[in-house]
Amino acid sequence: MPPKKALPPRVGIVLGSESDVQIMRPCATTLAEFGIPHELRVISAHRSPEAAHEYAKTAAARGLAVIIAAAGGAAHLAGVLASLTPLPVIGVPMPTSNLGGLDSLLAVVQMPSGVPVATVAIGKSGPVNAAVLAAQILAIGDAELREKVVAYKLRLAERIAIADENVRAGRV
Ligand code: RP5
């Protein structure tokens, strides 16, 4: 049987630096759990601005539906990409600077009117939440994916119910 052809990516995860890769791994893992084809790129708004421009300008035509942009410090990446693409952009503030990540959050949430970046949580929830939000956006037009999102939420509730049982039984 010929090898299965990889589907073209629907979500682009763009990282401002190699130092963001490990933090953002759970984002890619979560998209994979939903069966969403995605790509991971390192492109910097400041260090490789031309590549950032090219990526944003060509993303929609390549079939991407959502861009997830993770950057720390000045964290302009999500905003720059959002300014150049009609696609929804999700910003993940990275805790990689000397100021611990609150600076990145403040940078990402200060987009001017008309150029939104959907900013997710700081800390370890951010990469996962970016992937879940991307799945929810794609699920608007995809009933099968919507079922996966519903199942994901049921699993969250199950985990909480188990924790509740454990606490009530004095096991933790
Ligand atoms: C940002 O500055 C990157 O997104 C990263 O989070 C942070 C630090 O980058 P490095 O100096 O480690 O490359 O541009």
The string of pLDDT tens digits covering residues 49-100 is 999 999 999 999 999 999 999 999 999 999 999 999 999 999 999 998 888 8
Helices (DSSP H) in 15-142: which residue ranges?
A: 21-33, 49-59, 77-84, 102-108, 125-139
How high is the pLDDT of residue 97? 83
Give the confidence band of 157 by pLDDT, cuts at 50, 70, 90: very high
Residue 3 pLDDT > 90, yes or no? Answer: no
Average pLDDT over residues 120-138: 97
CA distance linking residue 169 with residue 167, whole number of Å: 5
Span from the CA of 20 to the centroid of ligand 1 (angstroms):
7
How far apart CA 167 and CA 161 sit, in angstroms, is 10
Distance 44 CA to ligand 1 centre (A): 9
pLDDT mean over 131-158: 98
Q: Rounded CA gap, 103 and 131, in Å?
A: 22
Tell me what percent of the chain is helix, strand and coil, each rounded to the nearest 5: 50, 15, 35
Which of the listed residues 18, 19, 68 should we mutate to test ligand 1's pocket, taking the one with most ligand atoms within 8 A of CB? 19
Closest CA to 111 of 60, 68, 66, 77: 77
pLDDT for residue 1 is more than 80 = no
Positive/negative CA dihedral, 126, 24, 153, 164: negative
Name every protein residue with a CB atom under 6 angstroms from any ligand 1 atom: 16-17, 19-20, 44, 71-73, 94, 96
Q: Tell me: the pLDDT tens digits for 7-61? A: 999 999 999 999 999 999 999 999 999 999 999 999 999 999 999 999 999 999 9
